[in-house]
Chains A and B, each alone.
Chain A
Amino acid sequence: MSLEIGVFDGLLLAGVVLSAVVAVLVPRRTSAVAVFLVFGLLLALLWARLDAPDIALAEAVLGGGVTGALLVDALASKQAEVPRRRSWALATGIIAGIIAFLGMGWVVSRLSEPSGQLPLLVDDHIGGSGAEHPVTAVLLNFRSFDTLLEIAVVMTAVFAATAVSDRSWTRTLSASGELRIIAVVLLPVVSLLAVWMLVAGTTRPGGAFQAGAMVGAGLVIAHLTGTRRTSTRGPWGDALIVLGLVVFILLAFSTAVGGAGWLVLGESWASTAILAVEAVLAVSIGVGLARIFLANRREPGEAR
C-alpha cells in the first residue's frame, strides 16, 4: 500500500486528532464515551492504512467492542460532582504538555532510517517457525515470553475485577423474545468468526487475541439474552481463565527440560504447538473478558 498522502489520509488524521481532543475536553460523561467510540473506530481505519491489518482487527473488536461495552455500562452510574481545578494547575498542565509535545517531536525528527534488521531476522527464521504470518510468528514463537507475561497480566486483571464485584452477577437473566432472536442469529456468526480468526492467524491477519475477543463477545451476548450457565462465575470459569497461563507455562517447562531451551519450538511440531496454544489462549481471554464485563455490570436504574 502506497504511503503517499491522499485526501482520505488527511481527513482521517484530522478526524483522529479532533475526536481525541473532543473526547478529553467535553464535560459530560456520555458525550466523552460516545466521542471516544468514534476515536476508536477512526484509529482502526488508521491502523489499516498503516499496513497493520491485525492491529486494525484487534482495535475494532477490543478497543471499540469490549472497551466500548465496558464504558457504556459504566455510564449507568451517576456522575459525581468534582471540584474544579485551580487555574494555576491548568496552566502548569498545559505548559508541561506543550513542552512534552515539543520534546517528543524533537525525538521523532531525529529517528534514523529504518535499518530493517528485525524484519530481516524475522524473514530468515519464519520458515521453521510454525506460522506463515509474521506477526503470529513473532507473538507465539520469537517473542512468546512476552505473550506469556501478557496472559498473566490479563488473568490478574480478571481476578482483580472479580474481587471488586459484588455477588449479584450470577442470576440467569430473563430475556424478551426479541433478544432471544438476536441471540439465535448472532451467536452462530460470532462462533464461526472466532474459530475462523483463530485458524486464519497462521497464514493471514488474525490470531488468538482477535478470536478471544469474539469468544468474550459471544459469552456476553449469550448471558445478556438469557442463556443459562454463561455468567463465567464459579470454578469452571476460574479454571478456564487460568488454563491459558497454565498451558503456556507447561509448554515453557517442557521445552526447557526436554527440548532445546525455554520456549524453543522444534520445527516439526511448532505449528501444532502454536495452534494449540492459540486455541487455549483464545478461550482463556474470551472467558476473562466476558467476566470482566459481567462481574461489574449494572442494571440500569440500580443503585449501588
Chain B
Amino acid sequence: MTVVDLALIAGPAIVVIGLVGHLLVGDLLRRIVALNVASGGVMMVLLAIAARGEAPDPVPQALVLTGIVIMAAVTGVALALARRVDAVTDESEGR
C-alpha cells in the first residue's frame, strides 16, 4: 500500500461526498463549498495517477493546475450570483 493507493481510495470518496452534499444541501454558500470539496477529490485522483510512475507525470499535473485556477475564478462568480439570489429571496419574502 502506498500513498498513491490511499489517495486513489480517498479521492473518489471525497468526490462523492462533495457531489451528494452539493445536490442535497439547501443553502447556496454551502453548496458552493461542497462543489469545491468535490473538485478537490477529482484533483486527488488525477495527481495520484500522475504520481504512480517513476517520475511524476507532468501532463495530469498541468491539467490540475489549470483546474485550480478556473475553480477559483468560477467560485468567485458563483458566490456573486448566490448573493444576488439570496438578496432577491430576502426582498420577495418581505424581510
Contact = CB atoms under 8 A, between A and B. Distances in A.
A234 interface: no
B70 to A, nearest CB: 5
B73 A118 contact: no
Nearest to A14: B10
Interface residues of A, number: 96
Given A29-B27, A157-B73, A51 B51 contact: yes
Nearest to A31: B30
A297 to B, nearest CB: 10
Contact of B83 (A59, A63, A74, A97): A74
Interface in A123-170: 134-135, 137-139, 142-143, 146-147, 150, 153-154, 157-158, 160-161, 164-165
B79 A97 contact: no
Contacts of B32: 71
Contacts of A298: 83
Given A157-B77, A293-B76, A23 B37 contact: yes
Contacts of B56: 50-52, 119
Given A70-B76, A83-B26, A143-B59, A50 B89 contact: no
Given A29-B30, A89-B24, A147 B66 contact: yes
Nearest to A51: B56
Main secondary structure of the interface of A (DSSP, over half): helix
A52 B64 contact: yes
B79 A74 contact: yes
Interface in B1-46: 1-4, 6-21, 23-30, 32-34, 36-37, 40-41, 43-45
Contacts of A55: 43, 47, 61, 64-65, 68
B9 A105 contact: yes
A90 interface: yes
Given A101-B12, A122-B58, A295-B80, A96 B30 contact: no
Given A58-B68, A135-B61, A292-B76, 13 more contacts: A32-B33, A33-B33, A47-B47, A50-B7, A58-B65, A62-B71, A74-B29, A80-B27, A108-B12, A135-B65, A146-B66, A154-B73, A213-B72
Interface of A: 3-5, 9-10, 13, 16-17, 20-21, 23-25, 29, 32-33, 36, 39-40, 43, 46-47, 49-52, 54-55, 58-59, 62-63, 66-67, 70-71, 73-75, 77-80, 82-85, 89-90, 93-94, 96-98, 100-101, 104-105, 108, 111, 114, 116, 118-119, 122, 134-135, 137-139, 142-143, 146-147, 150, 153-154, 157-158, 160-161, 164-165, 207, 209, 212-213, 285, 288-289, 292-293, 295-296, 298, 304
